[in-house]
Amino acid sequence: MKVPVSWLKDYVDLDGISIEELAHRLTMAGLESEEITFVGLPLPPGDKHDFKVNGIAWDREKIVVAEVLEVNPHPNADRLTLCRLNDGEREHTVLTGAPNLFPYKGQGPLDPPLKVAYAKEGTTLYDGHAEGWQLMTLKKAVIRGVESYSMVCSEKELGISEEHEGIMLLPEDAPTGMPLADYMGDAVLDIAITPNIARNANILGVAREIAALFGRELQQPSYDFTAEGAPVAGQFGIKIENPELNPRFVGGLIRDIEIRPSPDWVQRRLRLAGQRPINNIVDVTNYVMLDIGQPLHAFDYDELVRRAGGKTPTLITRMAKKGEKLTTLDGETHALEDFTVLVADTKGSHSIAGIMGGADTEVTDKTTNVLLEGANWNFINIRKTLGYLKMNSEASYRFSRGVHPAMASRGVGRGLELMRQWAGGTICKGLVDEYPLPYEDPTTELTPEDVRRWLGIDLKPKDIAAILARLDFKTSIKGKVISATAPDHRVDISDDPVIGKADLLEEIARIYGYDNIPETRLADVLPPQRNNAALEFEERVRDLLARQGLQEIVTYRLTSPEREAKRLPPGVAPDPKPYITLKNPITPDRFAMRKSMLASMLEILERNARLRERLAFFEIGFVYHDSEAGPLPDEKPRLVIAITGRRDLPAWQGGAEENLDYYDLKGIVEGLLGGLHLNAVRYEPSQHPSFHPGKQARLLAGERQIGTIGELHPAVHGQHDLGPAPVLAATFALDALMEAAPPRHEVQEVPAFPPVLEDLAFILDETIPAGQVQALIEQTGGATLAGVRLFDVYRGEQLGAGKKSLAYALTYQAEDRTLTDDEVAKLRKKIVGRLERELGATLRA
């Protein structure tokens, strides 16, 4: 909200408070002053500010109030005039093309003279004729044969508004020669209003905060009006059909007004506050809304009478019928929901309550009698209505955040009086006030103990009461208990005694100052301490994989079924279980919660495919599966690993240029499982559709599948923009992996006696898996065979077709002695014999 400092001064004395101090204190108290536009007042020194600085300062020496004594024609240009002007020191001749001086051209000396803002040579101002806000410096120039070195300023040149058609005219009593900055220099604070302080979305509200924060007196505005007309009663009626949604409706009447522009100072004020002046009557409604926060609506009274067939008009607030159509001031036609409240008369509806008026009864240039409405609406209902209408207005902004019903009569009173002042006319006596659902201002009790318990500060009852009184709470103290009744301009204090207490504690903390609350360390009893086993396991897996040279990635969990289908070869139908999808996706390609981590991984491999000759990634995350238990999906933790490209990093010394293959990935997986001390995992051929049918395995811990490992199916590979090297990938159900991993492991004693090492090679049928051979050797060797490592696989002509040779390095080891040759020979014989018998192996000489 834009808050001109000059307007604040109507309600609170700001003497001795700098703009920076003001902005800082407001920001710390929750009225964040994000931006300050300086309109004449000096800019704060230095570059470091809590807020963004805009605008310009007016040089006190070079921009002053001056009087135009006479407006003379320019000898060589019809559209320019020469002003004889006194700046308080001497006379100057000033060249201008301002159209609002033309009426004075050639009229001789002016009485009274026109007061203007006069800028001298060397002044920096905004360029009134450039687009946007360009700075320029006044220089001596000769324009059409007349020397010019100074100027009279428009509002735009001074940074007040975008008005640049004519020059700015000042009131007659503006003191000639006074620096303009002293006369009317200003600054506009742009304050962010959070929902809890919606009551401050007006000048009076901000002024009240300032008064409370700086301990100054708040000057209350007057809500009285001078009524000299006939009593208002009987001139119109008000009928409220649903008091829950329309607790109060106030109307006043002013007759014989004249529609014209508002006074200059009003227009300037409105523009500074970001509101476009329209005419004096509409300006009053906007002014009062900005001033005290009560939105108003002005009706053409005669039009209401005409619609009532010449009888006494009645304003009716009622619920819309579902589908009812209404055209608002902006020309839009809306289909309404049945919870929306309308303002209507006997002829029909004309506004959407609290949001926007209708064209039929609005004030026009010909209006002479005005019915002024100040109403109160249920803010939740306004918000619901805004939700489907997708519209916004200054009035609905305030009504949708809650306005106190007490403000309705105040707004109408203040509005009528301002209309009388700015538009003439006579106010009818009294107000028509329907208030079927009076608001009860809650009274909340609290004690110094509450303050200590919640905020950690010790305050005396009278200090607490004093803080609340600064915000207009009515307080009383009985012993240690402070009773505080909320003031009748705010609706944010709960009538629940406990929540109301928290509401008051917030106010006490804000006004006391967060800075003044001491920092303490938690002294409360430490709760039971717990591990987070799932997270700790994840972190172990992360470390084990990073240690093996893999880069962790984190990807989008939103995807599309099409994107995920690319992980399967053409013709393979994806699992038919439904995705969790979004009603309102932000991009069309990400509207479903993923079911596959492999698909996410392939996306990232594609992105990096051309960047490195070797890629090795892993991700730990969730997949989201429809659950039978209810509408919330199962969120399953998953691990995916993928590697592709050259086995060795490219280096100047050469190195193998072979590609990574299944066994590289298996080595990483074995490293991971070994690090988790999960040793009894079996690899069995499997049929995962994403992988090459002959180059994949499922991993079993006991009978439970914990993961799958393989080379990406060539058809899947082909569906992605990847390099030629095969992609090796593994996926794990992280929860299953965690359950399979032993919680602790025991170490083997380091042998005290030397081992006996021996290599044995066997010739076997090609079809016999190495895993089976290894298992049989280990089983036969028993405890004395401490290690079996496959070190060579060989196929060749001399072995014969369908045969292979597997060579193993065996380590024989006894705990308590050095093994003898005899013992080793016996064991060797047993192993060889078993392999011969059970696998048809022959020992290779």
Partner 1 sequence: MDILKELDVIEKDGLAALAAAEDEDALAAWRTAHLGRKSGLMAAFDGMKDLSKEERPQVGRRANEVKQALEGALEKKLVAVRQATLEASLAGEHLDVSLPGRALPLGRLHPVNQTLRRIYAIFAEMGFQVYRSREVESDDYNFTFLNIPAHHPARDMWDTFHTDREGVILRTHTSPGQIHAMREYCPENIRVILPGMVYRYEQVTTRSEMQFNQVEGLAVGPNITFGDLKGTLTDFARRLFNPDVRTRFRASHFPFTEPSAEMDVECFVCMGDGCSVCKGTGWLEILGSGMVHPTVLRYGGYDPEKVSGFAFGMGPERITMLLHRITDIRHFWRNDVRFLEQF
Cβ atoms < 10 Å from Cβ of 225 = 20
Q: How many Cα atoms are found within 13 Å in the side-chain-facing hemisphere of 343?
A: 33
Q: Which is nearer to partner 1, 80 or 189 (CB)?
A: 189
Q: Which is nearer to partner 1, 394 or 433 (CB)?
A: 394
Q: Which is nearer to partner 1, 522 or 845 (CB)?
A: 522
Minimum distance from residue 2 beta carbon to partner 1 (Å)? 20
Q: Which is nearer to partner 1, 215 or 518 (CB)?
A: 518
Minimum distance from residue 618 beta carbon to partner 1 (Å)? 9
Distance CA 403, CA 383 (A): 13
Q: Looking at 353-438, which runs of residues are DSSP E strands?
A: 370-376, 426-429, 432-434
Q: Which is nearer to partner 1, 550 or 764 (CB)?
A: 550
Minimum distance from residue 325 beta carbon to partner 1 (Å)? 24
Minimum distance from residue 564 beta carbon to partner 1 (Å)? 17
Q: How many Cα atoms are found within 13 Å in the side-chain-facing hemisphere of 35?
A: 8
Residue 517 phi/psi, 5-degree rounding, is: -85, 120
Q: Determine how β-strand 634-645 pairs with β-strand 91-96.
A: unpaired
Minimum distance from residue 615 beta carbon to partner 1 (Å)? 7
Instruction: Tell me if 406 sits within 8 A of 489, measured CB to CB.
Output: yes
- Chain-centroid distance of CA 527 in Å reads 34
Q: Which is nearer to partner 1, 582 or 770 (CB)?
A: 582
Distance CA 161, CA 181 (A): 16
Q: Looking at 149-244, which runs of residues are DSSP E strands?
A: 151-152, 169-170, 186-192, 227-231, 237-240
Q: Which is nearer to partner 1, 105 or 384 (CB)?
A: 384
Distance CA 226, CA 404 (A): 24
Minimum distance from residue 218 beta carbon to partner 1 (Å)? 19
Minimum distance from residue 390 beta carbon to partner 1 (Å)? 10
Residues contacting 758, CB < 8 A, separation 6+: 809, 810, 812, 824, 828
Minimum distance from residue 495 beta carbon to partner 1 (Å)? 13
Minimum distance from residue 672 beta carbon to partner 1 (Å)? 12
Q: How many Cα atoms are found within 13 Å in the side-chain-facing hemisphere of 43?
A: 16
Q: Which is nearer to partner 1, 394 or 758 (CB)?
A: 394
Task: Check residue 248 and report its DSSP letter.
Answer: E
Nearest of 343, 310, 313 to residue 240 by alpha carbon: 343
Four-residue CA torsion sign, 455, 459, 462, 463: negative
Q: Which is nearer to partner 1, 55 or 413 (CB)?
A: 55
Minimum distance from residue 818 beta carbon to partner 1 (Å)? 38
Q: Tokens representing 181?
A: 């900055």
Minimum distance from residue 186 beta carbon to partner 1 (Å)? 22
- The 3-state DSSP class for residue 132 equals coil
Distance CA 697, CA 151 (A): 87
Strand-pairing partners, residue 188, are 4, 37
Q: Which is nearer to partner 1, 227 or 593 (CB)?
A: 593
Minimum distance from residue 501 beta carbon to partner 1 (Å)? 8
Task: Check residue 485 and report its DSSP letter.
Answer: E
Q: Which is nearer to partner 1, 146 or 502 (CB)?
A: 502
Q: Which is nearer to partner 1, 581 or 679 (CB)?
A: 581
- Chain-centroid distance of CA 125 in Å reads 36
Q: Which is nearer to partner 1, 547 or 677 (CB)?
A: 547
Query: How long, in residues, is the chain?
Result: 845
Q: Give the CA distances from residue 200 to residues 195, 431, 439, 511, in Å, rounded to whole numbers and listed in that order.
A: 10, 26, 19, 15
Q: Which is nearer to partner 1, 502 or 786 (CB)?
A: 502
Helices (H), 609-713: 662-675
Minimum distance from residue 551 beta carbon to partner 1 (Å)? 6
Q: Tokens representing 538?
A: 């994840």
Distance CA 153, CA 159 (A): 10
Instruction: Tell me if 370 sits within 8 A of 347, measured CB to CB.
Output: no
Nearest of 321, 322, 342 to residue 249 by alpha carbon: 342
Minimum distance from residue 590 beta carbon to partner 1 (Å)? 7
Q: Which is nearer to partner 1, 252 or 500 (CB)?
A: 500
Q: Give the CA distances from residue 254 to residues 354, 371, 373, 410, 425, in Å, rounded to whole numbers and listed in that order.
A: 22, 7, 12, 16, 6
Cβ atoms < 10 Å from Cβ of 473 = 22
Minimum distance from residue 807 beta carbon to partner 1 (Å)? 28
Q: Tokens representing 390?
A: 């997708």
Q: Which is nearer to partner 1, 656 or 747 (CB)?
A: 656
- The 3-state DSSP class for residue 667 equals helix
Q: The tokens 């100072």 sit on which residue?
A: 265
Minimum distance from residue 821 beta carbon to partner 1 (Å)? 38
Q: Looking at 44-163, which runs of residues are DSSP E strands?
A: 52-57, 63-73, 81-86, 91-96, 114-119, 124-126, 135-137, 141-143, 146-148, 151-152
